[in-house]
Structure 1
Amino acid sequence: MTSQALSLLQLCDSNFPNGAFSQSFGLETYIQKDIVKDAATFTDWLNVYLHEQLTFADGLAARMAYEALNDDELNRLWELDRILTVQNLARESRDGTQRMGDRMLDIAESIYQIPLLATYKEKIKNKQAFGHSALAFTIVGHDLNVEKETTILYYLYSTVVSLVQNAVRAIPLGQTTGQKIIYAFQAELKQATEKIMQLEESEFGIVSPGLELSQMQHERVGIRIFSS
């Protein structure tokens, strides 16, 4: 592992304070409906989330953002920020994603002092951008000269770890069970990354309707511990 890749790992820490601990992105809806209720059913849900929503939205956006940065096409980066936001139909998930992106930008900019992160923050402040953690993460990975595929893999890993930790609290699962799930998903993460590297840009935003509906329905869940 290069020193640059090691530096990027800091953003993958489950304790990184970007607000992911308060977002379930529809998982809590499945828990309330008693569809997700143990390690096996959560693993099924996480598999769909990884290979559908993360792969075709955040993951593909990270790849296209990295390529735009390679070509110095910053307008493409801001376009991806807009598309990621407007295609997120569930209000709570959309708002949660923006808060996470804004928080990651604040912390990452203070750690790495990358000028483009400061530019991104300024555009959000001036309502010229929305903010998304996948793009902030990619900017850091690109600036640190971490390979594109590795940057994507690390982003997927950080998201999966956060969701597992939230499932440990919400279902609930034991901490050891959570760690076993993370370990078991190593092959899935590698497979998802390889798929992202092969996707056409026209496939951007193709996600599972069931996931989107669960995220919309979360607004009406009676008892909850997550914002989305």
Structure 2
Amino acid sequence: MNKAASTIAQQLALMQLSDSFFPSGSFTLSHGLESLVQENKLRSPIDLQTFLRLLLRNKVGPTDVVALIHAYRGSAIGDLEAVRQADAQLFAQTLIEKTRETQRKSGRALLAIATSTWQDSQLEILEKDVAKGEINCLHPIIFAVVGRVANLSERNTVLAFLHSFVTGLLGAAIRLSVIGHIQAQKVLLNLATDIEETYQNATSLKLSEMWSCTPAIDLAQMRHQKLTHRLFAS
């Protein structure tokens, strides 16, 4: 495969992993959005943009993305112990039980799809680890390995992950009637700088430096399971 063909293959893999068509199960999550909407605490595109910006900068970026980066780097050098360590640290850092549960479910769904799509020894080993209960199989960790398997760079793997995360929540907002499709595209464009800076800020953090601070959103996630009517798993 020549360089141009290789670049095109990588670009197509980037689009495949970041597309909501890719069935990892993450589209079933609202991350507390459904609670806030039902409680009339999030009502406008501006509210939604603030919600997404807080998640990116104060939660997903300094936790999920940091763990993803370290898992990717471990996978890139064939160090699956580093991948397992990132998985364990992220599990310990994720304090909300429902979030841990949904991360595990979507991670296992992603791993099952990846092993059916790509041939790679690391994916096979991780499947055995899951069967033996030796890894939590959290979604950001598996996404990191899949990005490496698909020959994406660390940067593009993170961007695919964040794009998928944001578009999944925009889709949830549309289903909850917070915004329409055109407004969702405007919000996505407005968050481009936040997505880029989320990656840049996470690149230098150690696993031990992961942090999050979104108390209102965390409480909304905890209240979600008590809602009378629910469209989403979280």
- TM-score bracket for this pair, using the shorter chain length: over 0.9
Matched residues in 1 for 2:149 and 2:73: separation? 12
1:34 maps to 40
Q: How does 1:184-223 map to 2 (within 5 A)?
A: 184-223=190-229
Q: Which amino acid aligns with 2:179?
A: L
Find the residue that maps to 1:4 and give its secondary structure. helix
Q: Which runs of 4+ in 1 moved over 6 A?
A: none
Matched residues in 2 for 1:205 and 1:114: separation? 32
Q: Any conservation in 2 of the 1:56–1:207 contact (CA below 8 Å)?
A: no
Q: Which amino acid aligns with 2:112?
A: D
Percentage identity across paired residues of the two chains: 27
> Aligned pair in 2 of structure 1 residues 171, 90: CA closer, same or farther (>3 Å)?
farther
2:94 is aligned with 1:88: yes
Q: Any conservation in 2 of the 1:149–1:193 contact (CA below 8 Å)?
A: yes
Deviation at 1:85, TM superposition (A): 2.1
Q: Any conservation in 1 of the 2:89–2:207 contact (CA below 8 Å)?
A: no
Deviation at 1:155, TM superposition (A): 1.0
Q: Which amino acid aligns with 1:177?
A: Q
Find the residue that maps to 2:64 and give its secondary structure. helix
Matched residues in 2 for 1:223 and 1:144: separation? 39
Find the residue that maps to 2:135 and give its secondary structure. coil
Deviation at 1:2, TM superposition (A): 4.5
Find the residue that maps to 2:178 and give its secondary structure. coil
2:176 is aligned with 1:170: yes
2:126 maps to 120
Deviations 1:166-191 (A, max 9, x none): 11101332111112211222121111
2:97 is aligned with 1:108: no
Matched residues in 1 for 2:113 and 2:182: separation? 29
> Aligned pair in 2 of structure 1 residues 134, 216: CA closer, same or farther (>3 Å)?
same
Match for residue 139 of structure 1 among 138, 142, 145: 145
Deviation at 1:40, TM superposition (A): 1.0
Matched residues in 2 for 1:222 and 1:20: separation? 22
Deviations 1:155-211 (A, max 9, x none): 111111111111110133211111221122212111111111133433213342222
Q: Which amino acid aligns with 1:165?
A: G
1:10 maps to 16
Q: Which runs of 5+ in 2 are unaligned?
A: 1-6
Q: Which amino acid aligns with 1:61?
A: A
Q: Which runs of 5+ in 1 are unaligned?
A: none
Q: How does 1:152-163 map to 2 (within 5 A)?
A: 152-163=158-169
**TM-score (ref. length: structure 2):** 0.90
Matched residues in 2 for 1:72 and 1:119: separation? 11
1:20 maps to 26
Deviation at 1:140, TM superposition (A): 2.0
2:68 maps to 62
Deviation at 1:223, TM superposition (A): 2.3
